[in-house]
């Protein structure tokens, strides 16, 4: 029922091309406002927002760089070290 405002994809080693290209293009065509692409292997995230019917990179971060922001959720800032916690 309708199009979601946000989709979060977690990349697995077997779905890199599908998530980065095929699904991203599909969500763009369906006008999903924000697309988060989470890469656990590299402990990174990319936030894409829909601008003039095309996705543009809004924010990106790795555990080395710290936090990322969302355009859709004003004021939301998440530190990747909180997501990819290092365990001993």
Q: Is residue 1 part of a domain?
A: no
- pLDDT-based confidence at residue 82 (cuts at 50, 70, 90): confident
Residue 87 has pLDDT above 70, yes or no: no
Q: Is residue 55 part of a domain?
A: yes
Which burial class, exposed, middle or buried, applies to 49 when counting CB atoms under 10 A from its CB (0-12, 13-18, 19+)?
middle
Domain range for 74 is 6-83
Q: Give the helix/strand (H/E) hosting 16.
A: helix 16-17
| CATH code, 27 | 3.90.1570.10
Q: Structural domain tally of the chain? A: 1
Give the C-alpha separation, 51 to 44, whole Å: 22
> How does pLDDT run across 16-70, given as a tens digit for each residue?
899 899 999 999 999 999 999 998 888 888 999 999 999 999 988 877 777 788 8
Residue 88 has pLDDT above 50, yes or no: no
Give the C-alpha separation, 45 to 65, whole Å: 11
């Amino acid at each position: 029922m309708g199009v979601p405002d946000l989709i979060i994809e977690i990349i697995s080693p077997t779905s890199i091309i599908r998530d980065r290209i095929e699904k991203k293009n599909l969500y763009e065509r369906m006008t999903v406002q924000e697309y988060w692409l989470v890469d656990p292997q590299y402990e990174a995230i990319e936030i894409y927002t829909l601008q003039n019917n095309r996705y543009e990179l809004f924010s990106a971060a790795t555990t080395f760089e710290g936090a990322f922001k969302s355009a859709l959720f004003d004021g939301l800032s998440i530190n990747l070290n909180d997501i990819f916690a290092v365990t001993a």
